[in-house]
Structure 1
Amino acid sequence: MSDGLGLTEGVSMALGGMIGGGIYAVLGVVAGITMSAIWVAFLVAGVVAMCAGYSYNKLNSLTDNRGGSVTFVQCYLGNSTVAGMVGWTLLFGYIGSMAMYAFAFGEFTAAFDVVPTSLAGVPIRPFVSVVAVAGFVGLNLLGARTTGAVENVLVALKVGILVMFGIIGLVYAFGFSGAPFEYGGSQLGGFGPIMAAAISFVAFQGWQLLYYDQESVENPVETIRKAVYISIPVAVVIYILVGMVTVNLVPQALESHPHVALKDAASMMMEPYGLARVGSVVLALSALFSTGSAINATLFSSAHFAKGMLSEDLLPDQIGDAATDGIPERTVVVLGAITAMFTWYGSLGAITSFASLSFILVFGSMSSLAFRQRDHDEVNPVVPAVGTVGALAFFPLMLYNLYTREPNTFYMVLGIAAAVLAVELLYFERELLEQEVTEFESDVRAVFEGD
């Protein structure tokens, strides 16, 4: 971040983190579950995200040593192990988000007619996704970074294109389509919209990155508070607008090739003006630009976050050197390599679910932590309580969705979670384990010597 970031830059950063790639990556997955009731999914997810934002803001205002989720846990629970595990969970969430953005980047690249479906026998999508990740790893190693002023322009372009997409889509739907505009009333009684809300939750992360570099923000507590409260509702409105237009105009495309259905919708709505091809190309280029910039920004922010964890001895030294100036190069490479593996081997649904689970867990924990501070006059207990309950509901719904729709992915996620938990415990409780092993060896030696 540049020095002296104000409210405009803060809103731009938060919106860029959410809209930078989320809508292009999750729309097809969410619409596949709830279709025309997609507005309910985004609205519910937005409410839970807003409650988490409120919780972050209250914890930030009550904490002298500011710095986000890990700092909050250390401050209020005084447990470095729990703080480290929260940090690791967030880091895996960021990796999942980057893999999701890279997946969408590859899908939209493959959607261009001039791009072959395979290269040297390898499907083009995973190849392009990995190349994109490698390219942005290289950019970060070179020190490339978007300033606050440039970010304002980039976010304005991304948001502007999506808003125009929604407005022109509504004009087409009510003026040219002739088909009734569906609002999903028949689906409101089931679990579909709530389950879709849980899956879409990953599209509402990004705003919390503002808490990691507060020294660069003017009047950080107040500026970040306003930026979060502005950016999340704006993202909800844009997601609902774009989602409703897409599911009403191209429901068939959402079933046949959901990842790039936005491109088909853009082509259809511009057809009455003789600009169908232009609409398709502009939307696809916008998706490439947005997902690419999201990879770059998330990689930079997550590496910055990892450096902070390294300085607190919450990550092994092999991942990077916390004493280095700027971002540790080894950290960028490690994060990029894991992201490339995820985006090569994973499906979009699996990647999205994995990332959403991570953020649901952490955001719910922060809401619970804020609820514990309800004795403070400035903390309204109802808001963090809603955030906590929402996360508690989202988490099992996500697992149920995976179990019923993608059982292989369900077991894979459980396996990854168990492996990560085991590694975390081995790392954070290594001194205790070493002590236990030493005592065990002493006991065994005493037994043999006694014989």
Structure 2
Amino acid sequence: MGTSKISLPESIAMAVGGMVGGGIFAVLGVVAARAGRTTWLAFVVSGVIAFCAGYSALRLNAQAEGQLNPIAYVEAFTGRTTLAGMIGWTFIIGYVGTMSLYAFAFGSYFVELVGIHTVFGIPLRPLISLLAVGTFVGLNIAGAHASGRTEDVLVGLKVLILLGFGVGGLYYGFRHGAIHSGLSNFHGETLLAAAIGFVAFEGWELLLFDQESIENPKKTIRTAIYASIVSVTAIYVLVAVVTTNLVDAGTIQQQSETTLAVAAEPVFGAIGFLLISIAALFSTASALNATLFSSSRLSRMLVADDLLPTRFQGGTDEPVRPLLILGALTALFSVFGSLNAISSFASLSFVTIFGGFSLLAFRERTSPLTAVLPAVGCLGAIATIVGLLYYLYTSEPTVFVTVIALSVVVVGIELLYFERKPIVTDVEGVERQIKSW
């Protein structure tokens, strides 16, 4: 009888699917609008930082006793529950950002596919995004979500479509002498674009949350994370080279939300636009559904570990209240946020987390050799955070203020939540002293 645990191929599919998800269909245009023909290089930079973070997380996983999850690393190696709680909350916020990105992209591709942008004078894209979020919240509350095998098939189809587009585009581009490296056009915006598009490398860390379901977890997860990050980086580079060489900069600026589908037209004609658009709809929908399911379960785990207030969970075993809260926040961002703002917000959340992995692994280094990649990951994450904040401050000041406000609120609530008992104890002690006088 075969084992029911997740094998290496399935683990790789999960990690690749978590990263490819729906992010590349939405974030490619945002990155290309900044980096132009050096977009491929921006993805290489993001991929290197992600690889260093993956190495760091795996180092911590190898040194940890038992099958700890990424949030538990922080508490195990630092002894600081409050810090672990903040990482957990940042994960939740980051997943809200990615779900908003998926919902936004779903709405954008839908309106382009049907050719209708307004209904009774109301923009259709936000309405479709809202409908998508509401639908998947309802499905998850009802207990319906994609099975592992279904997700494997969807991942395979997405990768095949992207590879088909990339290979076909390269062939078409070389035949017409349209493929160039773009290195002569390298500029500082390329590095800034790498920061904005970092969200496209979120997803491999999900394997670390589900180690008990994976056969030979330490070895399998290590191989799956390395293989998935390298292969996804290669796919992104291929897609970026084709897109930025076949679509002019003006079109990318105007249609950044559906750039990938626009790039398919010169190669495959109208059928290419249709195929990529349909693939984007399925990809963003499945990614939204899977992330909503995973993040609601993560919130339940945080409540069980006393890293979130019990009121967040509600009085049932099923995460109904988390689904409603996460769905409401996702809907808010996807309806009122811009694509630039949402992708930057999500990237900022995850580069902070991944930079934290690298910093912790550097702190726990066992030799100079094991410190190299964590140091690169940590410094890269710091540079990315600075670049993102600079970009938001100069280009999206409203979002900059929102991000800072959210950070202050999260840190403040987290500190109050974890310090509540000691504070109450101290106050009661003072009161008793006063009464004794």
TM-score by length of 1: 0.92
Choose which of 171, 185, 202 in structure 2 pairs with 1:205: 202
Letter of the structure 1 residue corresponding to residue 218 of structure 2: V
Percent of pairs identical after alignment?
A: 45
| TM-aligned CA deviation for residue 139 of structure 1 | 1.8
Superposed structure 1 runs of 4+ greater than 3 Å apart: 435-443
Q: Which residue of 1 aligns with 2:403?
A: 413
Deviations 1:314-335 (A, max 9, x none): 11112115972xx422222211
Q: Retained in 2: the 8 A contact 1:130–1:344?
A: yes
The code of the aligned residue for 2:257 comes to H
Structure 1 CA distance, aligned partners of 2:413 and 2:431?
Answer: 23
* Residues 404-413 or 360-369, more deviating: 404-413
| Preserved contact between residue 308 and residue 322 of structure 1 (Cα < 8 Å) | no
Aligned length: 434
State how 1:262-301 maps to structure 2 within 5 Å: 262-270=260-268, 276-301=269-294
Give the TM-score of the pair, scaled to structure 2. Answer: 0.94
Contact 1:311/1:322 (<8 A) preserved:
no
Structure 1 residue 306 and structure 2 residue 299: aligned?
yes
Q: What SS does structure 1 have at the residue aligned with 2:357? A: helix
Q: How many Å apart are 1:147 and its aligned residue?
A: 2.9
Q: Distance in 2 between matches of 1:285 and 1:416?
A: 35
Conservation of the 8 A alpha-carbon contact between 1:310 and 1:321 = no
Q: Which residue of 2 aligns with 1:66?
A: 67
CA distance in 1, matches of 2:60, 2:129: 37
Q: Give the gaps of 5 or more residues in structure 1.
A: 271-275
Q: Distance in 2 between matches of 1:64 and 1:332?
A: 32
d(CA) in 1 for partners of 2:116 and 2:316? 45
Aligned to 1:273: none
Which residue number corresponds to residue 353 of structure 1? 344
Give the distance between the partners of 1:115 and 1:420, measured in 2 at CA: 40
Distance 1:120 1:87 in 2: 42
State the partner residue of 1:8.
9
State the alpha-carbon separation in 2 of the partners of residues 441 and 421 from structure 1: 28
1:250 maps onto 2:247 in alignment: yes
Give the CA deviation at 1:232: 0.5
The offset of 1:247, in angstroms, is 1.1
Q: Secondary structure at the match of 1:66?
A: coil
Residue pair 2:348, 2:388 contacting (<8 A) in 1 also: yes
User: Are residue 370 (structure 1) and residue 368 (structure 2) matched?
Assistant: no
Give yes or no for the alignment of 1:241 onto 2:238.
Answer: yes
- CA distance in structure 2 between the partners assigned to 1:284 and 1:430 by the alignment: 50
Shift of 1:413: 1.4
Residue 440 of structure 1: how far off its partner (Å): 6.6
Is the Cα contact below 8 Å between 1:35 and 1:247 reproduced in 2? Answer: yes
d(CA) in 2 for partners of 1:338 and 1:136?
14
1:412 Cα offset (Å): 2.0
Amino acid of the residue matched to residue 270 of structure 2? Answer: R
Distance 2:423 2:29 in 1: 46
Gap runs ≥5 in structure 2: none
2:142 match? 142
Residue 97 of structure 2 is matched in structure 1 by: 96
Amino acid in the other structure paired with 1:151: E
SS of the residue corresponding to residue 183 of structure 1 reads coil
Residue 167 (str. 1) matches residue 160 (str. 2)? no
Instruction: String of CA shifts for 1:52-94, please: whole Å, max 9, x gaps.
Output: 1011111111112323221101111111100000110111001
Confirm or deny that 1:380 pairs with 2:370: yes
Distance between the aligned counterparts of 1:339 and 1:150, measured in 2? Answer: 24
Shift of the 236–164 alpha-carbon distance from structure 1 to 2, 3 Å rule, reads: same
SS in 1 for 2:370: coil
Q: What are the Cα deviations for residues 133-156 of structure 1, in whole angstroms up to 9, with x where unaligned?
A: 111112212222333332221111
Q: What secondary structure sits across from 1:429 in the alignment?
A: helix
Give the SS at the match of 2:389: helix
Question: C-alpha distance in 2, partners of 1:363/1:154?
Answer: 27
1:429 has 2:419 as partner: yes
- Alignment RMSD, CA only? 2.0
Deviates more, 1:196-205 or 1:312-321: 312-321
**Deviation of residue 46 (structure 1)?**
0.3
**Structure 2: how far apart are the matches of 1:74 and 1:256?**
46
Partner of 1:396: 386
Equivalent residue for 1:118? Answer: 118
CA gap of 1:442–1:396, structure 2 versus 1, over 3 A, is: farther
Q: What CA deviation, in whole Å up to 9, does each residue of 1:295-327 have, x standing for no partner?
A: 011111111211111101111112115972xx4
In 2, Cα distance between equivalents of 1:431 and 1:365: 27
Residue type at the aligned position of 1:13: M
Contact residue 173 and residue 249 of structure 1 kept, 8 A: yes
1:431: Cα distance to partner?
1.7
Q: Which moved more, 1:48-57 or 1:132-141?
A: 132-141
Q: Tell me, yes or no, if the aligned pair for 2:70 and 2:209 is still in contact at 8 Å.
A: no
Distance in 1 (CA, whole Å) between partners of 2:305 and 2:27 is 34
In structure 1, C-alpha distance between the alignment counterparts of 2:30 and 2:199, rounded to whole Å:
12
CA contact (8 A) 2:97 2:333 kept: yes
1:437 Cα shift?
4.7
Q: 1:441 to 1:345 in 2, by over 3 A?
A: farther
Question: Residues 271-314 of structure 1, C-alpha deviation per residue, up to 9 Å, x if partnerless?
Answer: xxxxx221111110000011111101111111121111110111
Q: Which residue of 2 aligns with 1:129?
A: 129
| Alignment-derived partner of residue 332 in structure 2 | 341
